[in-house]
Amino acid sequence: MSPTAEDPVLAVQDLRVTLPSRQGRLAVVDGVSLELRAGEILGLVGESGCGKSMTGAALLGIAPGPSGQVSSTAMRLGDLDLAQLDERGWRRIRGSRISMVFQEPQTALDPVFSVGNQLQEVIRRHRQFNRRQARTAAADMLASVGFADCARVMRCYPHELSGGIRQRILIAMAMVCHPQVLVADEPTTALDVTTQAQILHLLRDLARRSGTAVLLITHDLAIVEAICDRAMVMYCGRISEEGPTRALMQYPRHPYTAGLLAAMPRLSPGQVEPVKGIPGSVPAPGQRPPGCSFSKRCERADDLCRSQVPVLHGADPAMPAAVHRHACHHPLVHPIGSVTA
């Protein structure tokens, strides 16, 4: 059967990333399932240490260190079974069918090669282009991400460029072979507010124009609210809530999601809205409590929460299970009919 527009470009079931420890192998990503469709932007949000970056790297077959292991029940990129790829197979599709934008542009670019040289290297690795064709494709890609003087930028070295320009170049490198999926890991870290907005609008525009599906990893719910179609909230390597961005932001079901929202600074005309932090911190993989990993920080936790791991299920009859789901024994309640996709 041929794929349709409704079929996911990327479909992953039960993704796990494990690391060795004195207690045996510990799961830093524990049973994550997700789907991405063409042109969609999915936000993966949570505090530092929740496993977001590990998840993004695992989607490109990158394990954390020599002893890390990545596994899944199923992992498909279009018609390709990623679970069957060896390292040689992964090298063929990284940068061509699935790409990643890393959070630190200063270290992601090679300081001893020019921008043009690095862009052309990516193109020639994955496409049967000669030098002239690769140079033309590199210039065209730089133009598509907003550079007017592409020839000058291609001659520059990374240290000659600002953080915002380097981040645009990383996006150009990730998109130059027109991948089906782009993983953007904290792409606006350490950028000023104006440059952040430019980078985010660029990602949204590229996703819409090219049809590339984007997984946007961030700790900032304001970014998710601004450009993401759907959102997944991660805590301790598991998905605690997922759904359309509007529904998740306006009607959170999981106390952790509500806590993240309460910690967001908001401006309202004529009044000051206090910011409330979540007590405690994310436990390390070897120190997670039994049952719900959020139980020690949650005011709603009881004996059930402390003994039984909650699973993702539908929020209420007004929000079908396939649309808005949460993993909580005692979810927040909203008026029936108030939640809309």
Structural domain containing residue 79: 10-228
Dump pLDDT digits (tens) for 222-278. 999 999 999 999 999 999 999 999 999 999 999 999 999 998 887 666 666 778 889
pTM: 0.91
Evaluate whether residue 289 is within a structural domain.
yes
162 C-beta neighbours (distance < 10 Å), count: 12
Distance, in Å, from the CA atom of 242 to the CA atom of 265, rounded to the nearest integer, reads 22
Are 291 and 178 in the same domain?
no
Q: How many domains does the chain have?
A: 2
Evaluate whether residue 332 is within a structural domain.
no
Q: Is the pLDDT of residue 296 over 50?
A: yes
Instruction: Please provide the average confidence, as pLDDT, over all residues in the chain.
Output: 90
Are 217 and 248 in the same domain?
no
Here the CATH number for the domain that contains residue 46 is 3.40.50.300
Dump pLDDT digits (tens) for 47-88. 999 999 999 999 999 999 889 999 999 999 999 999 999 999
- Bridging pattern class, strands 80-81 and 74-77: antiparallel
Are 197 and 143 in the same domain?
yes
Dump pLDDT digits (tens) for 305-318. 999 999 998 755 45
Are 219 and 73 in the same domain?
yes
Predicted confidence at residue 335, as pLDDT, reads 61
Predicted confidence at residue 321, as pLDDT, reads 43
